[in-house]
Structure 1
Amino acid sequence: MYIGIDVGTSTVKAAAFDDTGRELAVEAHPVALSLHTGHVEQDMEEVYTAVLEVLNALTSRIPHPVDLAGLTGQGDGVWLVDKDGRPVRPAASWMDGRAHELLDQWLADGTFETVFRRTGSAMFPGCPGPLLAWFDRYEPASLDAAATALYCKDMVFRRLTGAPVTTDVSDASMPFLDPRTRTYDNRVVELLGLTHRRGLLPPIGDPITTAEAHEGLPPGTRIANGPYDLPSCALGTGVTAPGDGLLIVGTCLASLVATTDLDLKGEAAGLYISTDRPGHWLRAMPAMVGTAALDWVLSTTGVHHDEVDALLAETPPGANGVRVLPYFAPSGERAPFVEPRLRAELTGVSLESTKADLIRATCEGIGFAARHCLEAAGLTGTLAVCGGGTRSPAWMRLLADVLGRPLRVVEGEVGARGAVLAAAERFGVDLDVAAWTEPTAVVEPDAARAAYYRDAYDDHLARLAQARHRART
């Protein structure tokens, strides 16, 4: 049995697989987000307790020996811990917006641009650079008390195993890593005013260990840490060949394209995620809001998730003139452009508009945002899709039409699956990767609807340009 652990933003999951990649069982536990005045935080103890609960529940359900475990989790944010790996304060989430004023300053004075040209990382308020600078300015006591500024999965790995504090190149990619040397760029640390906090950055390593008498896993279990959830999902869907892409329709709408071309001269947006293979990167355009935008609209209109497919069938492409720019995150947008003050817009609504119109317009808006990101990331090959949104067949058909290409839909716990494949690679365990990453369905676009959405996409881009102008004035 192989176990993948995925410490998500709102849900912690553990999945068990057999040696062919068949998903045997899944355990999940929700974790809370605390939102107040632009601050988005998580209780680290709650997160870690949830990890233990899903592991204990999973291993008790399937009492087979655990040959190997892999760990992944949400990226970015700041998880401050002391020398024993214990929380100094609640974690600042990747969704946090408190550092937007610092980012505004860096956008204006050229720091943002310089950092991108050195690292391929387009900073956003919830990434470690701005957050650490904010803490240094407004809450220095927290940094004084901390030994390390970790990422989510690293905190969990440290607690599970007692292993020395490390991170991997994927999490380190934003915003301090030089993707060519795969080491921290001290000039970037200096540009962000953090040279005196340089010691908080975790060492970059290849963290693998064996759990002997630690929590959550049977004694003797081999476990590897990382990569974080976006590159883990790429592994779990088989997206490794240059030009192939992945769209993750989850809380974050993430677009990834595998590449061997490191172009730091392009538009300063998204990031290059370093992978376990030197010279191979994922060009990532992780938009801030995916299913979270639809969740907000559903909650506001009183519609349940299981009603979405039927409602999408009630209204035609174009949603009877209703349009949604789906930029709902309190920290604005980070891909395929950075606009900290951008907010969602709903237009074309009248007394004749229906709930179905609102739902379809939201799904279409998310689809247009995905198309924008994938084009910017350089998609030329096949496209895989995973995430919670894949549970809606009607939404997948709509996405295929909006994107104008077939979708390789991979269902199940894709991040956990990728974590196992990464662990197998690191420990030298031979698994049939093609079998582990086989799609569950292929959704083809409808030619007529795809043609309609080509024009509608141009309209989306025009409205977005106007909204970005308003956000800056």
Structure 2
Amino acid sequence: MARYIGIDAGTSMVKAAAFDERGQVLRVESRPVALSLQSGRAEQDMDEVYGAVTAVLSALAAAVEGPFALIGLTGQGDGVWLVDESGRPVRAAVSWMDGRAGELVDAWQSAGVVERVFRRSGSAMFPGCPGPVLAWLDQHEPAVLDTAAAAVYCKDMVFQRLTGIRATDVSDASMPFLDPRTRTYDDEVLRELGLAHRRGLLPPVSDPIAVGTLGADSPLAGTPVTGGPYDLPACALGAGVTEAGDGLLIVGTCLASLVSVREVDLAGEPAGLHISTDRPGHWLRAMPAMVGTAALDWVLRTTGVSHSEVDGLLDATPPGSRGVRVLPYFAPSGERAPFVEPRLRAELTGVSLETTTADLVRATCEGIGFAARHCLEAAGLTGSLAICGGGTRSPAWMRLFAEVLGRPLRIVEGEVGARGAVLASAARQGVALDVAAWTAPTAVVEPDPARAEFYTKAYDDHLQRLAAARDRARAT
């Protein structure tokens, strides 16, 4: 019986999952990877990331009996991963969480560059996306760019070192250089960003996704492997979000909201992005807020609470957290969806000597829920909603999400990104899999009507407080 492997090179963890023909997880191997955060800068060691990929792949091959029909590769998006001809690093990777280009994005917003780029690409830039990062490096580290062969993305670096093939796919290329209608690089966008002279650094776009084979030094040498899509569209595939109007909420380090669409709307507010997929005529309208579980992690660390206590704390205080409110914009680079505000920071209000740890935790979870609702509404959600990510391990938080969003949630657990990478790989190579079985939800959570009504009013208050906070950020 054939086996399938999905590899997901995430921001803090690299995982490899083995699946059977029905999409059941047989085994998962994982390795943590470090993210260096200092003075608004976020970088990663490419060799460490690649070493983690080879380690989890080798461990999985040793633990699960084959044969393995294929491997699908996905990973974190955005940032800039500068490599030489062989795919080795020429400097540390600049993460999507990096904020060094914040002032540059501010200047582009004031000059109308951000809006003009959005009208062409359907993607609004934020400090950690490739356009601003490359422009910052061009100003401050031009010699490094001169020595680089390509500015790729995480999965592309891994794919080249596994197979020897340099390529990206339409999903990663969507931010912000790709014209979503022609599915090719837009030279006018490069000119707008002052990067026309760096066009040669952009990797070739493989459409559909590239296929290679693992090299002779791999324990699975000769196994076909595909490069892409990146983690957001891979999760959409893994959760079965393909029909127009249906959506996906990923409650992970990044709080990502995705809605399947059949047209590109370049007329709205410049925010989020349109992710091209392997299916022409189909896009994902994405509103990936900068911080999801990372905001809750910060609160838990600060209060000395463990993750295992979250469910009990959420049940220990009522909706509204006894007046405590959290605007969950904790990222050092501000926010990117459903608006771009590089200087926006988190706010905690309504605290007194009577405030409990449960109030703080619930208020944070509520604030993240409000941010998700804002993103999903901006993305145009009209159909069903699936939810995945590390946050799904908390049943109480899932109930809270259903109430804040005012709709049922299809819970999709397991290695959703790796699952989507396998489905993309199978479709690319003509391997027939039962997609409905692979993407079936593990549970459905219904909202409590009374609490949903309460949160509809509380959401309006959240939007008012957010508007005031944005005014303060812009005045800074």
- Fold shared by both chains (TM-score > 0.5): yes
CA contact (8 A) 1:154 1:167 kept: yes
Q: What's the counterpart of residue 27 of structure 1? A: 29
Do the aligned residues in 2 keep the contact of 1:211 with 1:217 (CA within 8 Å)?
no
Counterpart amino acid of residue 420 in structure 2: G
Per the TM alignment, residue 63 of structure 1 is displaced from its structure 2 partner at its CA by 2.4
Q: Please state how far the C-alpha of 1:313 moved relative to its aligned partner.
A: 0.6
Q: 1:277 aligns with which of 279, 288, 294?
A: 279
Q: Partner amino acid for 2:143?
A: A
Deviation at 1:36, TM superposition (A): 1.1
Are the equivalent residues in 2 in contact too, given 1:208–1:222 (CA < 8 A)? Answer: no
Please tell me whether the aligned partners of residues 119 and 177 of structure 1 are also in contact (alpha carbons under 8 angstroms). yes
2:16 counterpart residue number: 14
1:208 Cα shift?
Answer: 3.5
Deviation at 1:284, TM superposition (A): 0.1
1:289-309 CA distance string (max 9 Å, x none):
000000000000000000000
Is 1:449 aligned with 2:451? Answer: yes
Distance 1:333 1:213 in 2: 40
Which of 403, 406, 414 is equivalent to 2:405? 403
- 2:190 aligns to what? 189
**Equivalent residue for 1:138, pick from 140, 147, 151:** 140
Residue 14 of structure 2: SS of its match in structure 1?
A: strand
SS of the counterpart of 1:285?
A: strand
Aligned AA (1:193)? G
Please say if residues 167 and 204 of structure 1, whose CA atoms lie closer than 8 Å, have aligned partners that are also in contact: yes
Check if 1:79 corresponds to 2:81: yes
The secondary structure found in structure 1 opposite 2:462 is: helix
Map of 1:314-329 to 2, 5 A cutoff?
314-329=316-331
TM superposition score normalised by structure 1: 0.99
Task: State the alpha-carbon separation in 2 of the partners of residues 423 and 366 from structure 1.
Answer: 33
CA distance in 1, matches of 2:78, 2:210: 21
* Residue 196 to residue 64, structure 1, CA distance change in 2 (3 Å): same
Match of 1:301 in 2: 303
The answer on 1:360 being equivalent to 2:354 is no
- Provide the residue aligned with 1:109 in structure 2: 111
Q: Which residue of 2 aligns with 1:249?
A: 251
CA distance in 2, matches of 1:110, 1:428: 44
CA distance in 2, matches of 1:233, 1:215: 30
Number of aligned positions between the proteins = 472
Q: What is the match of residue 64 of structure 1?
A: 66
Native 8 Å contact 1:236 1:436 kept in 2 = yes
- Following the alignment from structure 1 to structure 2, what is the Cα–Cα distance between the partners of residues 210 and 125? 33
Q: Which moved more, 1:60-69 or 1:361-370?
A: 60-69
Where structure 2 has 5 or more consecutive residues not aligned to the other structure, the ranges are: none
Partner amino acid, structure 2, of 1:413: E
Aligned to 1:173: 174
Counterpart of 1:196, as a letter, is H
Aligned-pair Cα RMSD in Å: 0.8
Once the two structures are superposed, residues 242-274 of structure 1 have per-residue CA deviations (whole angstroms, 9 ceiling, x without a partner) of 000000000000000000021100111000000
2:223 aligned with 1:218, yes or no? no
Deviations 1:87-120 (A, max 9, x none): 0000000000000011000000000110000110
CA–CA distance in 2 between the matches of 1:260 and 1:126?
27
- Could you report, residue by residue, the CA deviation over 1:159-210 in whole angstroms, capped at 9, with x for unpaired residues? 01112x1100000000010000000000010110011111000110134334
Question: 2-side partners of 1:216 and 1:372: how far apart?
Answer: 45
1:46 counterpart (36, 48, 70): 48
SS at match of 1:67: strand
Structure-1 separation of matches of 2:390 and 2:214:
34
Aligned residue for 1:199?
Answer: 200
Letter in 2 for 1:336: P
Is the 1:161–1:215 Cα contact (8 Å) retained in structure 2?
no
* Structure 1 residue ranges without an equivalent (≥5): none
* Residue of structure 2 equivalent to 1:465: 467
Name the SS of the counterpart of 2:68 in structure 1.
coil
Residue 234 of structure 2 is aligned with which of 232, 235, 241? 232
Amino acid at match of 1:282: L
Instruction: Output the amino acid matched with 2:55.
Output: E
**TM-aligned CA deviation for residue 212 of structure 1:** 5.1
Please tell me whether the aligned partners of residues 390 and 409 of structure 1 are also in contact (alpha carbons under 8 angstroms). Answer: yes
SS in 1 for 2:414: coil
> What amino acid does structure 2 have at the position aligned with 1:418?
G
1:178–1:357 distance in 2 versus 1, CA, 3 Å:
same
TM-score by length of 2: 0.98
AA matched with 1:281:
W
- Is the 8 Å Cα contact of residues 160 and 215 (structure 1) preserved in structure 2? no
Distance 1:216 1:469 in 2: 54
Structure 1 residues 217 and 76, CA gap change in structure 2 (3 angstroms): farther
Instruction: Name the amino acid aligned to 1:189.
Output: L
Given the superposition, is the C-alpha separation of residues 217 and 402 from structure 1 closer, same or farther in structure 2, using an over 3 Å criterion? Answer: farther
Q: Where has structure 1 moved over 3 Å in runs of 4 or more?
A: 206-210, 212-217
TM-superposed deviation, 1:213: 3.4
Distance of 2:214 and 2:190 partners within structure 1: 37
Query: Any conservation in 2 of the 1:3–1:68 contact (CA below 8 Å)?
Result: yes
Question: Structure 1 vs Structure 2: percent identity of aligned residues?
Answer: 74
